[in-house]
């Protein structure tokens, strides 16, 4: 039996297993894509919050990328936690060096618990160095506001933010509308020409730790299989919706993880 593709996650490690590279690798596996990881930061965290963060030296980050790309190579990649400017610049250099075209940028800035995962002085580096390399960038509402520089409080402003972020160099932009509230959760995809919406009923649960990581990993997995961007987002949206609905209620005392071990038609 062979995997249908090869995907790389460049992100932080979550010791509780619900987000970061752990969530990404679980997602790759269940979607039948061979998963590899480059660890950018080690976090000591659980469902209640982040206790500590230790950034990996940028030369070790670079060597991890070299090791994977020189031997196995990738069909798609994604980034998660890139906590400081040195790591951001290193990852950007390696993406360009190896000409990784299908790269999903999840611009992680703040954890579900409120802990900062991107230093404030590194936000401009993320915007200037990483987003222009993105095949797809997947900000939530608060991240999209920071990147675009506009306030998002209604549907049309999501579209405007999409246009601004796409103008920074990203080929495609997916703004996740879950934080806007309401009975429906609506995500908006912009490819530079057309808008596409992905709408689902909101699930009432506090067990949503790692949703952004899982969604971007699922998109990267489908891109690694050779799917187009719209199909990849649609499948990933179906995957994340079911993973949230089936989220276990017996893991941790805070924001619990999703249920990654699901099967969907793809």
Alpha carbon separation from 116 to 47, 49, 50, 113, 133 (Å, rounded): 15, 11, 9, 9, 23
List b or e across 106-138, with b for residues whose CB sees 16 or more CB atoms inside 10 angstroms: bbbbebbeeeebbbeebbebbbebbbebbbbbb
Would you please indicate which residues are annotated as catalytic (active-site) residues? 176, 208, 210-213
pLDDT of residue 153: 87
Q: What is the pLDDT of residues 189-212, one digit of tens each?
A: 999 999 999 998 888 888 999 999
- CA–chain centroid gap for 174, Å, is 11
Regarding the domain delimited by 6-245, which CATH topology (the fold level of the hierarchy) does it fall under? 3.40.1190
CB 34 within 8 A of CB 221: no
Which residues, 6+ apart, have CB-to-CB distance to 244 below 8 Å?
A: 203, 205, 207, 208, 211, 258
CB 211 within 8 A of CB 258: yes
Q: Collect the ranges in the chain with pLDDT lower than 50.
A: 266
Q: What does the pLDDT read at residue 182?
A: 67
Query: How high is the pLDDT of residue 181?
Result: 65
In the prediction, which pLDDT does 209 show? 93
At 112 the pLDDT is: 67
Q: How many CB atoms lie within 10 A of CB 56?
A: 17
| Cα distances (angstroms) measured from residue 67 to each of 75, 98, 223 | 15, 12, 22
Say what the pTM is.
0.96
| C-alpha to C-alpha distance for 74 and 37, rounded to whole angstroms | 11
Q: Compute the chain's Rg from CA coordinates.
A: 17
Q: Write down the residue that tokens 């990328």 correspond to.
A: 65
Spell out the domain ranges in the chain.
Answer: 6-245
């Amino acid at each position: 039996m062979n995997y249908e593709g090869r995907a790389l996650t460049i992100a932080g490690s979550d010791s509780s297993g619900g987000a970061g590279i752990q969530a990404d690798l679980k997602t790759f596996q269940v979607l039948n894509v061979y998963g590899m990881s480059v660890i950018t930061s080690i976090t000591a965290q659980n469902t209640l919050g982040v206790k500590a963060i230790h950034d990996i030296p940028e030369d070790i980050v670079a060597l991890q990328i070299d090791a994977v790309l020189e031997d196995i190579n990738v069909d798609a990649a994604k980034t998660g936690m890139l906590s400081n400017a040195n790591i951001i610049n290193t990852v950007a250099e390696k993406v360009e060096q190896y000409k990784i075209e299908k790269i999903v940028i999840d611009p992680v800035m703040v954890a579900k618990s409120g802990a900062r995962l991107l230093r404030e002085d590194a936000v401009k580096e993320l915007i200037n160095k990483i987003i222009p390399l993105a095949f797809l960038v997947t900000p939530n509402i608060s991240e999209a506001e920071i990147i675009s520089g506009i306030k998002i409080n209604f549907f049309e402003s999501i579209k405007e933010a999409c246009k601004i972020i796409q103008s920074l160099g990203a080929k495609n932009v997916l703004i996740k509308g879950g934080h806007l509230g309401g009975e429906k959760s609506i995500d908006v995809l912009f490819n530079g020409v057309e808008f596409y919406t992905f709408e689902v009923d909101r699930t009432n649960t506090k067990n949503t730790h790692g949703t952004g990581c899982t969604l971007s990993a699922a998109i990267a997995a489908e891109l690694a299989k050779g799917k187009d961007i719209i199909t990849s987002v649609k499948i990933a949206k179906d995957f994340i919706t079911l993973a949230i609905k089936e989220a276990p209620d017996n893991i941790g005392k805070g924001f619990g993880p999703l249920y990654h071990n699901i099967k969907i038609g793809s």
